[in-house]
């Protein structure tokens, strides 16, 4: 079973990302959307937590949500991939299940 996790809350305001990371199995994927995108950025107080989790989980971020919040690809933690809405659909289709952390 492979699972896609989506996280839509800011890591500075909620513990959603922490819960997600602690339960996500090796080989699963996390897609950061809406205010969740703030976890994808370099040089923040949560960057290390994400970098460490990337050893066993692949991370994606939704580009339109990134750009809306004034952020660009060059500000991302190395190894996080940007997807558009079509990429979101592809990720959903590629995984057996989706867990939307709210």
For residue 15, state whether it binds another protein (rule: CB under 8 A).
no
Which of 38, 59, 60, 88 lies at the binding interface for another protein (CB under 8 A)?
Answer: 38
Nearer to another protein, 9 or 28 (CB): 9
Asked if residue 47 binds another protein (CB under 8 A), the reply is yes
- Cβ-based nearer residue to another protein, 59 or 88: 88
Q: What are the respective helix, strand and coil percentages of the chain, to the nearest 5?
A: 40, 25, 35
What gap in Å lies between CA 97 and CA 102, rounded to an integer?
Answer: 16
Comparing CA positions, the residue from 44, 75, 77, 47 lying closest to residue 60 is 77
Residue 35 binding another protein, by CB under 8 A: yes
């Amino acid at each position: 079973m492979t699972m896609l996790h989506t996280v839509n809350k800011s890591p500075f305001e909620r513990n959603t990302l922490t819960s997600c990371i602690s339960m996500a199995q090796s080989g699963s994927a996390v897609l950061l959307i809406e205010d969740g995108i703030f976890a994808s950025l370099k040089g923040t107080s949560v960057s290390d937590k994400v970098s460490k989790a990337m050893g066993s989980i692949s991370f994606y971020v939704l580009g339109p949500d990134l750009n809306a919040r004034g952020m660009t690809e060059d500000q991302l933690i190395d190894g996080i991939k940007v997807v558009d809405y079509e990429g979101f659909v592809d990720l959903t289709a590629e995984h057996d299940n989706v867990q939307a952390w709210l």
